[in-house]
Amino acid sequence: MLGQKINAQYPEVKERIVNLPGFDQKKIHYGYFLGTNKYDFKFEYIDSYYKDLMYNDISVVQKNGFNVGLIGDLRINNFLNLRFEPGLYYNQRELNYPEYPEFERESDRFREVKSTYIHLPLYLKINAKRINNFRPFILTGFSTDFNLSSNEKNSDDNASNVFRTTSQNFNYELGLGFEFYLYYFKFSPSFRGIFSFQNELILDNQENSPWTGKIINMFSRGVSLIITFE
């Protein structure tokens, strides 16, 4: 009777079930990812543009894109992994130019920039200590993009409503994410920042083109929400 009373006062504490206990000990594992993205452009102009106060900067209308790809992960130790995540990134941006006097039509102020990137990043993944079925991590690394929609080799330019960019560019990336260990697989949402450090602009054939003549450099800036399944 006395033992029953003590057990009633102190109920048993159930241990939390740890999913996939040996998953992080695998030397190599694979997965895939899905995601969405938004890209912007950072412009650097010639000095005379800044002195002319009648004009604003070129504005960029960002639109939602999507990403899909594969994952290859190499374990270095309990806290470091090397990851390769080749994927396809599709995005669309709209450039709104100031009302330059060179523009003959209102439609000349707008240019649509479509990008279809073969995105090849290499990341160092830095993991925190696992807590039950949860673990945060950060990512840092470099990537290269091959833009299938660049129009780099197109002889037409903005005079024919064709905005041209380079077919390849290089980026550095930073990310923050969280891993959730489920019964059958690991699910990980993460936010990534993508920062190009290469000028992507192809100048128009006309030296003083109102679309490209005032720009020195144009760099992509992107954010992406990635959901991985491993």
24 domain-assigned: no
116-129 pLDDT, tens digit per residue, is 999 999 999 999 99
Residue 21 forms part of a structural domain: no
Residue 9 lies in a domain: no
Q: Where are the beta strands (DSSP E) in 64-109?
A: 65-75, 80-84, 87-96
User: The domain that contains 200 carries what CATH number?
Assistant: 2.40.160.20
* 3-state class percentages of the chain: helix first, strand second, coil last, to nearest 5: 10, 55, 35
Q: Whole-angstrom Cα distance, residue 61 to residue 40?
A: 8
The answer as to whether 145 is a domain residue is yes
- pTM, two decimal places: 0.87
Does residue 4 form part of some domain? no
Task: Name the domain count of the chain.
Answer: 1
Query: What share of the chain in percent tops pLDDT 90?
Result: 77
Question: Within a domain: residue 99?
Answer: yes
pLDDT class of 13 with cuts at 50, 70, 90: very low
Amino acid at 66: F
19 domain residue, yes or no: no
Q: Are the C-beta atoms of 230 and 37 separated by less than 8 Å?
A: no
What pLDDT score was predicted for residue 185? Answer: 93
The answer to whether position 14 is within a domain reads no
What is d(CA 189, CA 135) in angstroms, rounded to the nearest whole number? Answer: 11
Domain of residue 78, residue span: 30-229
